[in-house]
C-alpha cells in the first residue's frame, strides 16, 4: 500500500458547503472521505451495491453512466495525517465527475426519486466550480496570480505577505529535507525535527530569495530574530494564501525535482542555476 505525505491542509468553501481538503507530496489534490458525502449533503451511511465505489454512486441505475476515468478516480488515496496516522481520501476531481454523472443520468430520466436532491446539489456545485474555475484558469494562463500589479513593490508585498500570520502548517514536505540531507551526505532522522542551522541559510538562498524582490527583506522585518537569534514564527506563516503560499509551494515542488536529479551539492547548484535562472530570464522577457 503506497502512502503519501500530507503537505498542506485546509477548508474549501464550495457552493453552500465547507469541506476539508489537502495536498499530498505527489501533488494530488484530495478531499477527505467524509467531505465527499458532506458536499453532496448526503449521510455517509449507505449500502454499497456496486463493489469498489463509494455509496453515493453505488446504485445500480447509475452503472451505465460510470466511465473508466471515474472508476480510476474512485480509488481511495492513502496518506499520513499530521499526527502520523494513516487515513484515506479521494482525488478532488471526483466531485465534478460525480456532478456530471448525476446530471447526465437526470438528462436520461434514469434517476430514482431519492436521488433527485443530489441533482439539485450537483447543479449548485457545478455553478460554484465554474465561477472559481474560470478565474483560476485565466490567472494561471496569464501569470496574474504571481504578478498582480507588479509595477509597485508595496502592492507585491501586500499580495505576498499577510498582515496577520497564518496558523502553522508544514509547508516544507519531508521530501524537501530528505533530499538536502542526501545531497550533503547527512543522516536523516524523520523523528528529529531539530535540523542543522545551515538549512535556514539553504532555504533563504534557494527558496525565499526566488520570491519577488523585496519579499524576503519584508519577511525579515515582520518576523525578526529575538535576543537568542531565533524567529518566533516560520517565514511562510506570513505569506498570503492566494498568492504568496501557492508561489512558494510551486517553487518547492520544482526545487525538490532539481535536488532529486542531482548527486551532490555542486551538481545541484549547477542544475539549480540552469533551471531557475533561465526561468527568471524567460519571465523577464515575457
The model's pLDDT over 156-171, given as tens digits with 9 standing for 90+, comes to 445 554 444 444 344 6
pLDDT, average across residues 26-46: 80
Locate 203 and state its grid cell.
532555504
Q: Which of 122-126, 150-154, 251-255 has the lowest mean pLDDT?
A: 150-154
Task: Compute the chain's Rg from CA coordinates.
Answer: 22
* Residue 22 burial by Cβ neighbours in a 10 Å radius (0-12, 13-18, 19+): buried
Whole-number Å distance between alpha carbons of 171 and 252: 9
User: Tens digit of pLDDT for each residue in 38-47?
Assistant: 888 877 655 4
Task: Give how far Cα 23 sits from Cα of 18, 70, 171, 241, 245, Å.
Answer: 17, 20, 10, 14, 13
Beta strands in 131-173 (DSSP E): none
User: Tens digit of pLDDT for each residue in 83-126?
Assistant: 778 999 999 889 989 999 999 999 899 999 888 889 888 888 88
Whole-number Å distance between alpha carbons of 240 and 171: 13
Q: Would the pTM count as exceeding 0.85?
A: no
Amino acid at each position: 500500500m503506497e502512502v503519501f505525505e500530507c503537505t498542506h491542509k485546509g477548508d474549501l468553501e464550495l457552493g453552500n458547503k465547507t469541506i476539508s481538503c489537502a495536498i499530498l507530496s505527489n501533488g494530488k489534490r484530495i478531499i477527505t472521505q467524509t467531505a465527499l458525502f458532506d458536499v453532496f449533503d448526503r449521510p455517509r451511511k449507505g449500502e454499497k451495491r456496486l463493489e469498489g465505489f463509494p455509496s453515493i454512486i453505488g446504485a445500480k441505475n447509475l452503472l451505465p453512466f460510470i466511465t473508466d476515468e471515474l472508476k480510476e478516480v474512485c480509488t481511495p488515496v492513502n496518506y499520513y495525517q499530521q499526527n502520523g496516522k494513516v487515513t484515506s481520501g479521494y482525488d478532488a476531481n471526483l466531485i465534478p465527475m460525480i456532478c456530471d454523472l448525476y446530471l447526465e443520468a437526470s438528462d436520461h430520466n434514469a434517476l430514482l426519486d431519492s436521488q433527485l436532491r443530489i441533482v439539485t446539489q450537483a447543479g449548485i456545485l457545478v455553478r460554484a466550480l465554474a465561477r472559481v474555475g474560470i478565474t483560476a484558469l485565466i490567472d494561471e494562463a496569464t501569470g496574474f496570480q504571481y504578478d498582480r500589479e507588479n509595477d509597485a513593490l508595496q502592492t507585491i508585498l501586500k499580495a505576498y505577505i499577510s498582515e496577520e500570520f497564518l496558523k502553522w502548517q508544514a509547508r516544507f514536505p519531508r521530501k524537501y529535507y530528505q533530499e538536502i540531507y542526501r545531497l550533503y551526505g547527512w543522516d536523516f532522522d524523520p523523528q528529529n525535527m531539530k535540523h542543522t542551522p545551515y538549512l535556514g541559510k539553504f532555504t533563504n538562498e534557494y527558496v525565499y530569495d526566488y520570491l519577488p524582490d523585496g519579499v524576503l527583506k519584508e519577511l525579515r522585518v515582520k518576523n525578526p530574530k529575538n535576543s537568542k537569534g531565533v524567529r518566533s514564527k516560520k517565514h511562510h506563516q506570513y505569506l498570503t494564501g492566494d498568492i504568496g503560499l501557492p508561489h512558494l509551494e510551486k517553487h518547492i515542488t520544482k526545487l525538490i525535482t532539481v535536488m532529486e536529479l542531482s548527486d551532490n551539492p555542486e551538481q545541484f547548484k549547477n542544475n539549480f542555476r540552469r533551471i531557475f535562472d533561465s526561468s527568471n530570464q524567460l519571465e523577464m522577457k515575457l
